[in-house]
């Protein structure tokens, strides 16, 4: 896992105070990292244009241009009058070594956005929006310095965002780079050191970026085992029985020893899935909500879910039903797996807050953390382009998901996978993290096109992780 920070000004200040570093030293290292990224895309026949703003983000771009000049064709475009004293100093140095400073936009092979950093606190004006539209229309490779211009420090967006192929962010990962709304604008993210190792620059954070190494597969180590060793997942089947079947397949393929669908006998069931009209006595976890169309037998379902101590995985239709408040109030271990619309319904039912899907998507982190603090015994898996696992004020962000997962049934499979890990002894948080990672990473193993992946392919792909 890697720390993710809501802001980094305090980390810069800590460098000044604790390590006797200066803003200029940090700026030189930021410029060097940016120059290295540009250099990888440059040849003697290619050119780079640094579009620099009036503050210290612009100064980082000016430093990078100065470092590259002489060996490569680079120039600086300044659309605004400089305000930062350090930016003015860096421009003076760049001019002395011969860097061309332009008063109009020119064509180049590489465009570097050094207009605004993470401190942007206002929507961009019409002139800047027009500039970004022009840059976005250019054919060259695009690199953003720290964060693409147009992303505000409160994670809201201007009407136009610089569309980067690559973002070189300074010092540490920023939360603003990981929101769903900017996934198409940031490109590949690289973190630049600022004169000290990243581990020295950073302080502990309650936000984490998940890495592949955080995936803990349910590999079977013990040899003296039987099917009961690996748990029994009970899945509530609704009127749309295919959803429960997919969840069952996900649970079975992810290591559960036994999987039973509860409800009316389905018309067709894979031979490795069992059926029962009642909760099996040896069940270890209950998965419910998928395919559960309303109206349903609410008293019976309430008894099934709450008249025992089994952990729950709750998905889909139950997010919209008042029963969700009793489930959470029961203090049972619960994993919720909503998409944003379902999460909006959960917030209204449990927190009495009417928050639209648009507002949730604008700042998913804030709403997920707020919910997790209100209900610390619940693990929230907020699905999206970047899935968030929230628990007791901590956020774990999974960025490995691909558009191929945007299919009906994909989420049902993941709910079953979470249930499988709970049945095998994982904590609710660890089950949610590892199932989410496995689910996303499977989608990356397929070499076919990105529109034909099916939920069954996800189940099959688990064999090769």
Annotated binding residues for AMP, written as ranges, equal: 383-387, 411
Q: Specify binding-site residues for (6S)-NADPHX.
A: 56-60, 117-123, 146, 243, 291, 339, 412
The conformation of residue 124, written as its DSSP 8-state character, comes to P
Euclidean distance between CA atoms 324 and 147, whole angstroms: 39
Count of beta carbons in the 10 Å neighbourhood of residue 215: 18
**Whole-number Cα distances in Å, 453 to 291, 383, 465:** 21, 18, 16
Q: Which residues are annotated as a binding site for K(+)?
A: 57, 113, 149
Residue 371: left if φ>0, alpha if ψ -120 to 50, beta else—which one?
Answer: alpha
Nearest to 413 by CA among 452, 456, 463, 378: 456
- CA distance linking residue 283 with residue 161, whole number of Å: 50
* Known binding-site positions: 56-60, 113, 117-123, 146, 149, 243, 291, 339, 383-387, 411-412
CA separation for the pair 455, 458 (Å, rounded): 5
Task: Tell me how far CA of residue 109 lies from CA of 44, 132, 219, in angstroms.
Answer: 11, 16, 48
Question: Do strands 2-5 and 166-170 pair parallel, antiparallel, or not at all (unpaired)?
Answer: unpaired
Phi-psi region of 289 (alpha: psi -120 to 50; beta: other; left: phi over 0): left
């Amino acid at each position: 896992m890697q720390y993710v920070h809501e802001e980094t000004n305090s980390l810069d200040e800590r460098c000044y105070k604790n390590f006797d570093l200066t803003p200029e030293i940090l700026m030189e290292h930021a410029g060097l990292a940016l120059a290295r990224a540009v250099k990888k895309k440059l040849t003697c026949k290619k050119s780079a244009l640094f579009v620099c703003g009036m503050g210290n983000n612009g100064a980082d771009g000016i430093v990078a241009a100065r470092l590259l000049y002489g060996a490569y064709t680079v120039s600086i475009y300044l659309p605004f009058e400089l305000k930062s004293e350090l930016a003015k100093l860096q421009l003076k140095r760049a001019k002395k070594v011969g860097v061309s400073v332009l008063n109009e936009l020119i064509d180049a092979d590489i465009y570097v956005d050094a207009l605004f950093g993470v401190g942007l606190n206002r929507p961009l004006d019409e002139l800047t929006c027009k500039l970004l539209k022009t840059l976005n229309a250019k054919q060259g490779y695009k690199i953003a310095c720290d964060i693409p211009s147009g992303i505000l420090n409160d994670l809201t967006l201007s009407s136009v965002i610089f569309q980067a192929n690559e973002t070189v962010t300074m010092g540490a990962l920023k939360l603003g780079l990981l929101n769903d709304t900017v996934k198409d604008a940031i490109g590949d993210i690289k973190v630049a050191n600022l004169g000290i190792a990243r581990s020295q620059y950073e302080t502990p954070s309650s936000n984490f970026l998940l890495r592949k190494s955080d995936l803990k597969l349910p590999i079977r180590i013990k040899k003296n085992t039987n099917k009961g060793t690996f748990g029994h997942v009970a899945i509530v089947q609704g009127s749309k029985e295919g959803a429960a079947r997919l969840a069952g397949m996900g649970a079975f393929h992810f290591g559960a020893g036994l999987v039973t669908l509860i409800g009316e006998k389905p018309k067709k069931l894979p031979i490795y899935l069992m059926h029962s009209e009642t909760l099996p006595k040896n069940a270890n976890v209950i998965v419910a909500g998928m395919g559960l169309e309303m109206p349903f037998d609410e008293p019976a379902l309430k008894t099934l879910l709450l008249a025992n101590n089994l952990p729950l995985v709750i998905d889909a239709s139950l997010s919209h039903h008042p029963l969700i408040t009793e489930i959470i109030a029961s203090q049972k271990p619960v994993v919720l797996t909503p998409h944003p619309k379902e999460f909006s319904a959960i917030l209204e039912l449990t927190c009495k807050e009417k928050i639209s899907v648009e507002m949730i998507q604008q700042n998913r982190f804030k709403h997920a953390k707020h919910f997790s603090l209100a209900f610390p015994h619940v693990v929230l898996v907020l699905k999206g382009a970047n899935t968030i696992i929230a628990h007791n004020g901590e956020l774990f962000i999974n960025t490995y998901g691909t558009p191929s997962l945007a299919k009906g049934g994909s989420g049902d499979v993941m709910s079953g996978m979470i249930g499988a890990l709970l049945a095998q002894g994982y904590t609710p948080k660890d089950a949610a993290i590892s199932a989410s990672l496995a689910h996303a990473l499977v989608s990356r193993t397929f070499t076919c096109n990105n529109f034909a992946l099916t939920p069954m392919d996800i189940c099959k792909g688990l064999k090769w992780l």
